[in-house]
Structure 1
Amino acid sequence: MTVEFAQIISTLDQRPETTDPVPVFMDQNDAIAGIEHSSEHPADIRITESGTYVVIAAPQVGRQSGTAPGAVDFWLRKNNQDIPNSTVRAVIRENDDKDVIVNQTMMPFNAGDVINVMMAVERPGEGLGIEAIRTEGRPLIPSIIFSMHKIKDHTEGHWVSTQKGTKKVWIEE
């Protein structure tokens, strides 16, 4: 059985100069099988085999300037549509603050679906965004680590818990 998985990173600092949503670019495939990602479309992760996947995006956030706390939001997009309830926020208070926040989902994807990690900053011009950190004698701290793996082959439906998880209902797709 082929196992579909990917671990994709970015070695790039990405600091949006707009408050509009921007895709996060990833420039290095550490490990990948059964999922497509290329330098021609560095923000796109393409599903090749339908199924249910676990998706985890962990950006390394920071800023370069500014005196007031600044927010950076991240969320997931599927086929150019925002995935509901997928936004996470980091607030950076000082210029030397760094943080890693985790964004994750588990959901069905069809062959051909495209996944993107999106980012938006509260205020442009302060260097808010993601950053790769290089330290002597240690491995790179990527500006984002994106991981996903398939946990179930595609079916024509799925179970949904109802009544506070006490009952299950089969949903046809």
Structure 2
Amino acid sequence: MAITLSKKESNKVRVTSNDSTPDFLLSKIVAGSTKLTVVETNDGGDEDLTLDVDQTSIDHDLLLNFIPNEHIDHTAVTLIAGDGLVGGGDISVNRTFDVAINPEASVTAAPTDEVLIADASDSFNIKKVTVQSIADLGGGGGSGIFAQLSSSVDQEPTVTTPVVITYNTQDDIAGMTHSTTVNPGEITIDTAGKYFMLPQPQVGKSSGGSSQALNMFLQVDRGSGFVDEPNSNIIVSVSDNTATDVIVLGITIVLDAGDKVRLMQRVTSTSVGLGLKFTALEVGPPTIPATPSIICTMFSIGA
């Protein structure tokens, strides 16, 4: 048996055999990924014949399972730049988009506004942060979260157990919540972060010959009731019945939104007028401002 190859017409090959067996040659064609292989065995040994497929002659529209409209006209599809971007065009060529902020309207940023950043701690992947968190990186400057509260009355405990120090004046406050009538000793945190608190009470007593002591310390309510803040106590001993002493307590503390803070005082005697003392305005000349029984300053120092 012999297999004959002959040129039938341009770019095509005719494969014939002189074997009389029906469909003999057809049964010898083996399909490959990009080729057709004809394998025939005779007395002279195995003969392999490879036919290259001319893909330029294939009409894919006529192939089995062809899906029409799968290919698109690249000039009919347009990429459009959105807010803050310029560029775009049809997809017949590569297109570039650039950030362009100048055409956009200018606004005053709010603390919860968001900004895109390249996160250096995460392979510079694009993420978002709030304007408030950027302001906090500056150590709290300009963060707009602060309070200065004071009291214009004496606060002399009538018990020797700790009592709440209160404020009846809001000298200035922003980004925190305080009431001069409902729980006036409590400050509620609106934004989570690190805070610095600086209370300055004016301590004195009005009678008695022996030295007495006053403690002041911080309590925090993180959702389960007020508890003493560790290592926040200061103590002052008072022996003079006419002098006053201003003591200072500086506290740095991390707080969550909704947390509450308050200051407590505790005296060793209730019979000598021991406590926080208010001094009224002195009319001059010279005029001396009133001295609150306590001034408390508190502000954000970072996220």
Task: State the TM-score, normalized to the length of structure 1.
Answer: 0.86
Aligned residues: 153
**Tell me, which stretches of 5 or more residues in structure 2 are unaligned?**
1-131, 133-142
1:58 is matched with which residue? Answer: 200
CA distance in 1, matches of 2:255, 2:178: 16
- The answer to whether residue 173 in structure 2 is matched with residue 32 in structure 1 is yes
- What is the one-letter code of the residue matched to 1:143? S
Deviation of 1:55 (Å): 0.5
Q: How far 1:121 sits from its partner (Å)?
A: 0.2
Q: 2:269 aligns with which of 104, 123, 128?
A: 123
Unaligned ranges ≥5, structure 1: 154-173
- 1:107 maps onto 2:249 in alignment: no
**Amino acid in the other structure paired with 2:200:** A
| Alpha-carbon separation, structure 2, partners of 1:122 and 1:12 | 21
Within-5 A mapping of 1:75-90: 75-79=217-221, 80-90=226-236
* 1:5 alignment partner in structure 2: 146
Equivalent residue number for residue 289 of structure 2:
139
Which is strand-richer, 1 or 2?
Answer: 1
* C-alpha separation in 1, matches of 2:157 and 2:271: 8
Output the CA distance in 2 between the equivalents of 1:45 and 1:66: 35
Q: Which residue of 2 aligns with 1:47?
A: 189
Matching residue's letter, 2:184:
P
SS at match of 2:185: strand
Provide Cα deviations, 1:78-97, integer angstroms capped at 9, x if missing partner: 01111111111111111012
Whole-Å separation in 2 of the counterparts to 1:77 and 1:140: 28
Q: Which residue of 2 aligns with 1:16?
A: 157
| Structure 1 partner of 2:210 | 68
For 1:94 and 1:106, locate their aligned partners in 2 and report how far apart those are by CA, in whole Å. 32
Structure 2 equivalent of residue 150 of structure 1: 300
Counterpart in the other structure of 1:168: none
Q: Distance in 1 between matches of 2:256 and 2:144?
A: 15
Instruction: Return the structure number with greater relative CO, CA threshold 8 A, min gap 6.
Output: 1
Runs of 4+ in 1 over 6 A off after TM superposition: none
Identity %: 35
For 1:16 and 1:107, the matched residues in 2 are separated by 27
What is the root-mean-square deviation in Å for CA atoms of aligned residues? Answer: 0.9
Instruction: Give the Å deviation of 1:104.
Output: 1.4
> SS at the partner of 1:41?
coil
Shift of 1:124: 1.1
Match of 1:95 in 2: 241
Give the secondary-structure state (helix, strand or coil) at the position aligned to 1:43: coil
With normalisation by structure 2, the TM-score equals: 0.50
Q: What whole-Å deviation, never above 9, does each CA across 1:11-66 have from its counterpart, x for those lacking one?
A: 11000011100000100000100011112221111101100000111000011111
Matches within 5 A, 1:158-173: none
Cα distance between partner residues in 1 of 2:148 and 2:236: 22
Letter of the 1:102 partner, please give it: V
SS at match of 1:142: coil
Q: Distance in 2 between matches of 1:69 and 1:16?
A: 17
Shift, 1:122, TM fit: 0.8
